[in-house]
Amino acid sequence: MSTEQMIQTVHAYIDRLSHGTAEQIVALYADGASVEDPIGAPVRTTREELIEFYSIMTNLDSRAATLNWVRAAGDTAVFEFTLVTGTAGMSFEITPVDIMVFDDEGKIASMRAVWAQEDLTQL
């Protein structure tokens, strides 16, 4: 697990948030990985829960994610991205900071997202 590999996976994650299916996003996760998004929400731990979670977003009319910055060290990457989604003629923007811990094979072992309700704005 090099810093480069983690950063590549973060780029793949952001790309799939814009263009991928829920299954393609979840394929970046290790088996048994956990997702807490936002931190404080119930932790999702099964493949089915992860796919259900990302399907909420992939089922929207439009979505576009942009990576603002990424930092990585050891087994962990931290990055900020802006996600613009469109549904029912309205557009929303949110800018989370995600914390990803990786396993030895370079798969995402856990993701915890830092954002609050007030970070979600209607455009």
Cite the active site residues.
13, 37
Identity of the residue, 51 or 120, whose beta carbon is nearer to its own copies in the bound complex: 120
Q: How far is the CB of 69 from its own copies (least distance, A)?
A: 9
Residue that has been written with the tokens 């999702």 in this structure: 44
Distance separating alpha carbons of residues 3 and 26, to the nearest angstrom: 21
Give burial (CB, 10 Å; 0-12/13-18/19+) of 75: middle
Q: How far is the CB of 59 from its own copies (least distance, A)?
A: 24
Q: How far is the CB of 73 from its own copies (least distance, A)?
A: 4
Identity of the residue, 7 or 57, whose beta carbon is nearer to its own copies in the bound complex: 7
Distance separating alpha carbons of residues 36 and 45, to the nearest angstrom: 9
Q: Which amino acid is at 120?
A: L
Identity of the residue, 22 or 72, whose beta carbon is nearer to its own copies in the bound complex: 72
Sign of CA dihedral 18, 23, 28, 30: positive
Q: Which residues bind its own copies (CB under 8 A)?
A: 3, 36, 38-41, 71-78, 97, 99, 112-116
